[in-house]
Amino acid sequence: MMKNKFLLLTLVIAFISNGCSIDDDGPNFHFTALKIVEAKVPESFDLNKTYEISVDYLRPNNCTYYEGFDVAKDSLTVRNVVAVGAVRSDIDDCKEESIQETASFNFQVVYTDPYIFKFYTGNNSDGEAEYIEITVPVNKP
């Protein structure tokens, strides 16, 4: 009986030390900003309402996947909008092709001042960020 327990314990230890080895070489992806080519917003907002904002963006290749939006408050009613992608770094044969896709996010209007949306379209030749800027007035109650 003791011999069976010893054998079982030896097998378990061997399995744990050899069978579950995880070679973690680090992350297999990194995040990147995707270029926005078009944004569809309402002509005006009503206070305390929520609106869906639709955005067309470009995936630069088949190894880059859409992850969501980063909507950052720049000032009271200015929002910087970036489409975020995850680039798989463990795939060697990425096809370089622009793939246009559409995604949306919900936006709640909480101020009466007009909102300015700055949708990231990429960097210019000087490395400076460029945006599509859209101003949306808020209807007075």
- Pairing relation of β-strands 78-88 and 64-75? antiparallel
- The pLDDT tens digits of the residues spanning 48-86 come to 999 999 999 999 999 999 999 999 999 999 999 999 999
CATH of the domain at 59: 2.60.40
- The pLDDT tens digits of the residues spanning 97-139 come to 899 999 999 999 999 999 999 999 999 999 999 999 999 999 9
Is it the case that residue 44 has pLDDT exceeding 70?
yes
- With respect to residue 6, please indicate whether it lies within any of the assigned structural domains: no
Q: Residue 25's pLDDT is what? A: 62
Q: Residue 23's pLDDT is what? A: 58
- With respect to residue 114, please indicate whether it lies within any of the assigned structural domains: yes
- With respect to residue 19, please indicate whether it lies within any of the assigned structural domains: no
CA-wise closest residue to 32 among 1, 74, 3, 68: 68
